[in-house]
Structure 1
Amino acid sequence: MTALAPAPRRATHAHPHRLTFAHLLRSETIKILTLRSTWWSLGLTAAMSLSILFLLALASNDNGGMFSPVMIMVAPIQFTMLVAGIFGAIMITGEYSTGMIRSTLTAEPRRGAVVLAKALVVSLLMAVTTVLTYVVAALITAPLVPGGLDWSEPTSALLPLLSGVASMVAFTLIGLGFGFLIRNGAGAIAATVGILFVLPIVMSLFAMAGERWGWIYESVAYLPSNAATTLTTGGATDLSGAAIALTAWAVVPLALGWATLRSRDA
């Protein structure tokens, strides 16, 4: 009788060359910055913002200061939020369409780390783009709006601008979360646009439906776009509720995307 060969021992370290998180961040930064879609998205965000606020500044100047400088600077968010959401979506769906996601997960099997690294990189890029846009916007509006920005009152100047930066980051993370969750460019973009733009319009229609459906209309205030408007107006009272709602809209899709990435093959 021949002796049975011993079963091969399983390796105790399946991934001895696992990337550190710092290396993963660097890798994601290089990957994203080398995509033309990144520069197109960020450039379009800045161009749209500056074009809209320039027109608003001219209109305000012609009507004796109809809009405050801060209102002029944060008003474009209602349009650029779509670009921010789409930017977040295509930053991951492009990897699924090309198969690069497999290489990413081979180099770094910790899928939560991959989600976190990509979220940090796209958030930082959108935040920097928004801050630079506001700097240029301040220079544009200064000669057109009487008085300019009043920095002596943080709640009326600095806080709305910081809220604007946070809102653009949140819109980007919503798109990124749907990208991880749906894994298809068209589907992720459709879901992002639906949440940011279509859903508020549909839910607003319930204002005419009577008291029975009033709760639907009242919940419109906690949709991402409306929550961002509340935060950037500066004079709203329910700032904490709007902040919680916007944070939840950014975190929940990312969490669902992470759970999907863990449970399904790339």
Structure 2
Amino acid sequence: MSSFPAILQSEWTKIRTVASTSWTLALVFLVTVGFAALFSATFDTNSLDAAQRATFDPTAMTTGSMQFGQLAMIVFGVMVVSTEYSTGMIRTSLAAVPHRGRFLLGKMAVATALALVVGLLTSFVSFFLTQALLGDVGIGIGEENVLRAVTGVGLYLALLALFCMGTAAMLRSSVAAISILIPFFLIVSNLLNGFEATRTVGQYLPSNAGSKIMQVVPNALGAPETPYGPWGGFGIMALWTLAAVLGGYLVLRKRDA
């Protein structure tokens, strides 16, 4: 049986040598930073009314652009797992590592670490760029809750990738996983959180709860109140992620490759 360091080395080799996973991680950075620069360069504070100006959050330029970058992170998380099924390499991998739990843990550990590094690099570059472009209305990294929010972007993206890996392990199909996850995170979550009647459900979905960690100003620009704080919301997303990972493990353990 392969040692765990050998499994980690193998998974690292797989990820860095497959073009699709490498490019999706690069797109996380390029898309997020690009849109952050665009939003900041074209933002007009004079368009805000008095209430919005009072709760204006300069870091929202970074977190807002992350909504586009997370599309690439969803694809990355799915492709890390599902590519082996589509190519048939999963049989070779499981023959080399018969212990399926160790195999999945190694794969998810390497991919999540990469997602965290890319997420943190993306968030800090986006933050310093946007604050420079905002000029007088920008904010410093040392201001209250700012470091937590900027770091939270990276943490959110890492959990997002892990959630998608668990989902892909359950579905075993790139098309099925991406077709479910992108509408779930970008459409369903926003719709349920956008209406008073469904907000009690929508605010507990992973994207809405997890994004709370990225807020510096509570209820900025009229955002609805939540019964949990930044770390509470992150904890809710972590529970969703744990459920997805456990589901993926159970499917991998019970079903033939």
- Same fold, TM-score > 0.5, yes or no: yes
TM-score, normalising length: structure 2: 0.85
Structure 1: gaps (5+ residues):
1-17, 208-213
Deviation at 1:60, TM superposition (A): 3.2
1:137 alignment partner in structure 2: 126
1:197 alignment partner in structure 2: 186
2:246 alignment partner in structure 1: 255
Amino acid at match of 1:234: V
Q: Which moved more, 1:143-152 or 1:226-235?
A: 143-152
Residue of structure 2 aligned with 1:150, choices 140, 158, 163:
140
2:222 alignment partner in structure 1: none
| Native 8 Å contact 2:76 2:161 kept in 1 | yes
1:235 alignment partner in structure 2: 217
Q: What is the alpha-carbon distance in structure 2 between the residues aligned to residue 68 and residue 59 of structure 1?
A: 16
Residue of structure 2 aligned with 1:91, choices 80, 83, 86:
80
Amino acid at match of 1:198: I
TM-score, normalising length: structure 1: 0.82
Amino acid at match of 1:35: V
Q: What is the alpha-carbon distance in structure 2 between the residues aligned to residue 202 and residue 74 of structure 1?
A: 19
Residue of structure 1 aligned with 2:99, choices 110, 119, 128:
110
| Native 8 Å contact 1:164 1:228 kept in 2 | no
RMSD: 2.2
Residue of structure 2 aligned with 1:226, choices 185, 205, 208:
208
Deviation at 1:48, TM superposition (A): 1.0
Amino acid at match of 2:251: T
Q: What is the alpha-carbon distance in structure 2 between the residues aligned to residue 138 and residue 193 of structure 1?
A: 25
Deviation at 1:137, TM superposition (A): 2.3
Q: Residues 1-266 of structure 1 correspond to what in structure 2 (within 5 A)?
A: 18-60=1-43, 63=46, 68-146=57-135, 148-153=138-143, 155-204=144-193, 207=196, 214=197, 216-236=198-218, 238-266=229-257
Deviation at 1:205, TM superposition (A): 6.8
Deviation at 1:62, TM superposition (A): 6.8
Cα 1:63–1:245 shift into 2, 3 Å: same
Deviation at 1:36, TM superposition (A): 0.4
Aligned partner of residue 135 in structure 2, secondary structure: coil
Amino acid at match of 2:158: V
| Native 8 Å contact 2:193 2:203 kept in 1 | no
Amino acid at match of 2:202: V
| Native 8 Å contact 2:170 2:248 kept in 1 | yes
| Native 8 Å contact 1:49 1:80 kept in 2 | yes
Task: Work out the percentage of aligned pairs sharing the same amino acid.
Answer: 28
Q: What is the alpha-carbon distance in structure 1 between the residues aligned to residue 179 and residue 98 of structure 2?
A: 29
Cα 1:239–1:253 shift into 2, 3 Å: same
Q: What is the alpha-carbon distance in structure 2 between the residues aligned to residue 159 and residue 56 of structure 1?
A: 22
| Native 8 Å contact 1:85 1:173 kept in 2 | no
Deviation at 1:56, TM superposition (A): 1.6
Q: What is the alpha-carbon distance in structure 1 between the residues aligned to residue 239 and residue 199 of structure 2?
A: 19
Aligned partner of residue 117 in structure 1, secondary structure: helix
| Native 8 Å contact 2:59 2:216 kept in 1 | no
Q: What is the alpha-carbon distance in structure 2 between the residues aligned to residue 166 and residue 51 of structure 1?
A: 20
Structure 2: gaps (5+ residues):
219-227
Q: What is the alpha-carbon distance in structure 1 between the residues aligned to residue 89 and residue 133 of structure 2?
A: 48
| Native 8 Å contact 2:81 2:169 kept in 1 | yes
Deviation at 1:172, TM superposition (A): 0.8
Q: What is the alpha-carbon distance in structure 1 between the residues aligned to residue 47 and residue 174 of structure 2?
A: 45
